Amino acid sequence: MNVDADRSAGGLLCVWKLDIFCLDDCCSNRSFIILSGTLFNSLECVIVNVYVPNDVSARRSLWVSLINLKVVFPKQWCIEGDFKEIKSIDEGKGCVRRDRGMRDFCNFISSHELIDLPMLGRKFTWSNSLEGERWSNLDRFLVGPEWLVWFRYKLWGLPRSISDHCPIIPMKDARNRGPKPFRFINTWASHPTFLNEVKKMWEGTQVEGWAGYKLKIKLKALKQSLK
């Protein structure tokens, strides 16, 4: 799926292997492509490829549009691409300070409940020239918490060549760190049926043995129920 460039600016392209990602729904415009589907037959997710406008007001409108679209595409989101914005002053060097743009961007990340994957290999992803007078971290991957339960990603910044942006790539950490931790998401507790479901599962799990063992088995069953 693609969005054509406007002369030499913009343009988006999404490609995937059919045996890895199964597409259910999609939509696009000049600034993004949204793909909703299932990854590895397990993780129901939304993958968003973005090319954000240069204008601060246009960026703010895009953040609002993406937040509204989360209602239409409610699965776990992963947003990647050129965001044309930094989160803090230390993500730029020799650039004009843009407090409003940074504040809008940080509010978008927070309201969308996204996690910014830290980048290894380099600090900045964009430079205005080969001499490197100005540097910024404009390209990134923002993921929902469920992505980090399924995958242990490391985000790498690669050397740039003909583009003023460097490529970035998430790579799975192959090191064995033991069983995956269970991450409780606080918003679950606000669901109207949460307490009833917990009570039903807890009272319905019958275990024989000493108190510590009963607690362990019931917590394990509760974890599976919540997942």
pLDDT over 60 at 201, yes or no: yes
- How far apart, in whole angstroms, are the C-alpha atoms of residue 131 and residue 207? 68
By percentage, how much of the chain surpasses pLDDT 90?
41
The pair of three-digit structure tokens given for residue 7, joined into one six-digit string: 């002369």
pLDDT at 225 over 70: yes
Q: What is the pLDDT of residue 129?
A: 67
Query: So what's the pLDDT on residue 175?
Result: 55
Torsion over CA: 117, 2, 166, 104 (sign): negative
pLDDT tens digit sequence for 100-120:
889 999 999 998 889 999 898
Residue 97 has pLDDT above 70, yes or no: no
Q: Over the chain, what is the mean pLDDT? A: 86
> In the prediction, which pLDDT does 208 show?
82
Give tens-digit pLDDT for 3-51: 776 666 668 999 999 999 999 999 999 899 999 999 988 889 999 999 9
Helix (H) or strand (E) holding 119: strand 119-120
The full set of domains in the chain, from first to last, is 2-172 (3.60.10.10), 186-226 (no CATH)
Q: Which of 42, 54, 45, 38 is nearest to 6 (CA)?
A: 54
Q: What is the model's pLDDT at position 78?
A: 96
pLDDT average, residue stretch 191-206: 89
pTM for this entry: 0.72
pLDDT in tens, 135-159: 899 999 999 988 888 887 789 988 8
The Cα–Cα gap between 143 and 155 comes to 12
- What are the φ/ψ torsions at residue 24 (nearest 5 degrees)? -105, -40
Which tops the pLDDT comparison, 154 or 129? 154
CB-based contacts of 195-202 (< 8 A; 24+ apart in sequence): 197/225, 198/222, 198/225, 201/225
Among 41, 16, 38, 37, CA closest to 27: 37
